[in-house]
């Protein structure tokens, strides 16, 4: 058994222990369905285990990485982006480039998740592959990656996204910066568009986020 196979076996044992699973028959029908939505690839990507991800991808077709968890509808790419695991993000996209368009149950792309976490290197990678992602809105809050970065105060990520952001998004990004108290980002947005200084939400962005909280 190779070292990668040993690590994979250990990882699967740890996963089973985490869930208190000793025998498959110990799991009732509903729990079994839920648990089986998670693959070893999901758990390895979530944990940042690049060697295990590489092993699994090498032994499976591109469609293998399409699998999503339930009910969050996270693909392995979403876990990697959310956790800041840039090497794994690159591995997954090299194996299956179509993953870049996948969204979660809230409509978040991998770019939304990376921007929210402030992972500027992952944001840079994703934008280099598909810059159009910068203007994709999610479902729950109608946020773009810019709104996510602004809300968390990630200045470096904001700077990466601003050149690609539709001008209609700046106004609601301003409101998000004000709500979260990010004065330096507010100043940056006003420098780009002085009319934002009045802080009012006009009609330029009719699909504006309404400051809903995440569940």
**Residue 167 token pair:** 């001008």
**Would you say residue 109 lies in a domain?**
no
Check residue 140 and give its pLDDT: 83
Query: Total domain count for the chain?
Result: 1
List, for residues 90-147, the tens digit of each pLDDT value: 999 999 999 999 999 999 999 999 999 999 999 999 999 999 999 999 998 899 999 9
**Residue 62 token pair:** 């591109």
- C-alpha to C-alpha distance for 89 and 198, rounded to whole angstroms: 40
State the number of CA atoms in the 13 A half-sphere of 106 facing the CB.
15
**Would you say residue 186 lies in a domain?**
no
For residue 73, what are the domain limits? 1-102
**Would you say residue 207 lies in a domain?**
no
Q: Which residue has the higher pLDDT, 31 or 70?
A: 70
Provide, rounded to the nearest whole percent, the portion of the chain with pLDDT above 70: 75
**Would you say residue 85 lies in a domain?**
yes
Closest CA to 120 of 157, 165, 149: 157
Scan for tokens 């499976």, then name that residue. 60
pTM above 0.75, yes or no: yes
> Where on the phi/psi map is residue 83: left (φ > 0), alpha (ψ -120 to 50), or beta?
alpha
**Would you say residue 91 lies in a domain?**
yes
- C-alpha to C-alpha distance for 62 and 93, rounded to whole angstroms: 10
- C-alpha to C-alpha distance for 191 and 209, rounded to whole angstroms: 22
**Would you say residue 165 lies in a domain?**
no
**Would you say residue 189 lies in a domain?**
no
Check residue 24 and give its pLDDT: 42
What's 73's domain CATH number? 1.25.40.20
- C-alpha to C-alpha distance for 174 and 200, rounded to whole angstroms: 9
Check residue 31 and give its pLDDT: 43
**Residue 89 token pair:** 């993000």
With beta carbons less than 8 A apart as the criterion, state whether 90 and 57 touch: no
- C-alpha to C-alpha distance for 30 and 28, rounded to whole angstroms: 6
**Would you say residue 65 lies in a domain?**
yes
pLDDT band at 198 (very low <50, low <70, confident <90, very high): confident
């Amino acid at each position: 058994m190779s070292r990668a196979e040993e690590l994979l076996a250990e990882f699967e044992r740890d996963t089973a222990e985490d869930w208190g699973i000793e025998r498959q028959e110990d799991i009732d029908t509903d729990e079994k369905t839920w648990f089986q939505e998670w693959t070893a690839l999901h758990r390895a990507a979530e944990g940042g285990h690049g060697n295990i991800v590489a092993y699994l991808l090498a032994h499976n077709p591109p469609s293998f990485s399409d699998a999503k968890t339930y009910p969050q509808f996270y693909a392995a790419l979403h876990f990697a982006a959310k956790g800041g695991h840039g090497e794994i993000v690159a591995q997954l996209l090299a194996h299956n480039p179509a993953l870049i368009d996948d969204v979660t149950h809230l409509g978040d792309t991998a770019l939304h998740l990376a921007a929210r976490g402030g992972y500027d290197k992952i944001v840079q990678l994703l934008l280099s592959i598909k810059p159009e992602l910068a203007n994709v809105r999610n479902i729950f809050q109608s946020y773009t990656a810019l709104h996510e970065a602004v809300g968390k105060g990630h200045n470096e990520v904001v700077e990466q996204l601003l050149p690609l952001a539709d001008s209609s998004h700046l106004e609601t990004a301003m409101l998000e910066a004000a709500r979260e108290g990010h004065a330096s980002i507010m100043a940056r947005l006003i420098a780009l568009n002085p009319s934002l200084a009045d802080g009012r939400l006009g009609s330029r962005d009719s699909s504006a986020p309404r400051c809903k909280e995440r569940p």
